[in-house]
Amino acid sequence: MQHKLDFVKEYLPRGNRVYMFGHGAGAYMLLSILPYIKDDFNLRKAVCLFPTIEKMNESPHGIRLRKVVSTLRQNDWLARTLSFWVDLMPESLKRKIISMKLTSDQNCPELVDSISELLHMHVFRNIVHLCNDELEKIGTLDETLLFHKNLIYFYYGTNDGWCPIEQGNQMNERLARGHVVLEKDSVEHSFVFRDAATMAEKVLQFIV
């Protein structure tokens, strides 16, 4: 979070209107740094997409993965053993596999290259570390995250394994009308792979 705060203070324009978005655990980070930046920038909205800001280890995905990531975190040799082969895979094969998973309108060279750069053993180990850290630290909702209710907006998915729709219904009772959106399009939590165009339209609605 300190890294995010330092980045914002150094690079965000102070004169222009600013709309900030956080996805998943990024929403937790966004709400955490909000008190430290709201007076320094012309911040109009802080939008949390599919926000994992509470009870992460009790979510469907959290229950399914917490023992796995904990085991891999405590046994780094196992994480290395499971992922070392990715570093040995030819880049052409990586790109072919990635292309097979993308839809035709998303299968552009830039996206394939970006994903290919992430298919490495050390990236997998970092993911294990971060996921374990998030599962341990994001527990009962910290009400101080919601202190600046006039700036905060939430977008919840109906079939999100990380933040169930029940959390969205509860948040809808905490915030003013229009500050919580409960989507109805069955967009996935990891929307960049299959629902990027849909979410682009949703995000635009928070700005215009």
Name the phi and psi angles at 23, rounded to 5. Answer: -115, 135
In the chain, which residues fall in CATH 3.40.50.1820? 1-55+140-205
pLDDT in tens, 112-154: 888 898 899 999 999 999 999 999 999 999 999 999 999 999 9
- pLDDT category at 80 given cuts 50, 70, 90 is very high
- Better-predicted residue by pLDDT, 47 or 105: 47
Q: What is 73-141 written as a DSSP string?
A: HH-HHHHHHHHHHHHHS-HHHHHHHHHHHS-TTT--HHHHHHHHHH-SHHHHHHHHHHHHHHHHH--S-
Q: Does domain 1-55+140-205 have CATH number 3.40.640.10?
A: no
pLDDT of residue 81: 94
3-state SS class at 11: helix
* Chain mean pLDDT for the chain: 91
pTM: 0.87
Q: Quick check: 8 pLDDT over 80?
A: yes
pLDDT in tens, 84-111: 999 999 999 998 888 887 766 667 888 8
Q: What is the DSSP letter of 64?
A: H
pLDDT of residue 203: 92
Going from the C-alpha of 130 to that of each of 69, 88, 200, the distances in angstroms are 9, 24, 26
